[in-house]
């Protein structure tokens, strides 16, 4: 019976899990330009421009206005001052619910206008970062990257549970300063 329960839990996790083929630390981060929103209004986000200012946290999330993504955006919003103090910027990237990103970017229970979210139609950027949900290949998995100012990936964290993405990325950004 215990074996059956363990197999059932493992199977359920496998069905929901991202592919875990994300890019590794030390790899060159793929450059991208994408339509994005900050506190509602649209603009064009360019990773290369953001890297000129310092390290960048690029966090992929499955879809705006979904339970885990709402939590993750709120956690990043609450911690944005700590990222800024470490001279890092944050951008969320998603392929899901793109028609809702403008509102998602400004709502206080989500991004609160504190950092931009980029639209990734067809998960093109997510595919370049090997950050795709296995069972929904048009959506990105929940994977966070810390990209050093030189464009190299300094840290990767992939987990569908949104709880530790901020701690993982903020810790990596602070470690880069040492």
Q: What is the pLDDT of residues 26-64, one digit of tens each?
A: 999 999 999 999 999 999 999 999 999 999 999 999 999
At 21 the pLDDT is: 56
Q: Give the residue from 109, 83, 119, 104 showing the smallest Cα distance to 39.
A: 104
At 54 the pLDDT is: 96
- Give the full edge-to-edge strand order of the sheet including 117-119: 42-46, 33-37, 117-119, 89-94, 56-60, 143-147, 153-158
Is 22 a residue whose pLDDT tops 90?
A: no
Q: What is the pLDDT of residues 81-120, one digit of tens each?
A: 999 999 999 999 999 999 999 999 998 888 889 999 999 9
At 134 the pLDDT is: 86
Q: What is the pLDDT of residues 109-166, one digit of tens each?
A: 888 899 999 999 999 999 999 999 888 888 999 999 999 999 999 999 999 999 999 9
Residue carrying the six token digits 């994005």 = 36
Would you kindly state where each structural domain of the chain is located, as residue ranges? 23-177
Residue 140: count other Cβ atoms within 10 Å of its Cβ: 27
- CATH of region 23-177: 3.40.30.10
């Amino acid at each position: 019976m215990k074996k059956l329960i363990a197999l059932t839990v493992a199977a359920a996790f496998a069905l929901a899990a991202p592919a875990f083929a994300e890019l590794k630390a030390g790899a060159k981060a793929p450059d991208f330009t994408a339509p994005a929103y900050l506190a509602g209004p649209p603009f064009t986000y360019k990773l290369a421009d953001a890297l000129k200012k310092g390290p960048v946290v690029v966090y992929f999330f499955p879809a705006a206005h979904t339970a885990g993504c709402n939590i993750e955006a709120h956690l990043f919003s609450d911690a944005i001052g700590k990222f800024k103090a470490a001279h890092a910027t944050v951008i969320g990237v998603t392929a899901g619910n793109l028609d809702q990103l403008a509102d998602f970017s400004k709502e206080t229970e989500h991004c609160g206008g504190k950092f931009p979210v980029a639209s990734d139609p067809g998960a093109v950027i997510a595919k370049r970062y090997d950050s795709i949900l296995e069972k929904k290949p048009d959506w990105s998995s929940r994977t966070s990257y810390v990209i050093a100012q030189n464009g190299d990936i300094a840290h990767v964290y992939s987990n569908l549970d949104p709880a530790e993405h901020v701690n993982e990325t903020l810790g990596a950004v602070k470690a880069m300063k040492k």
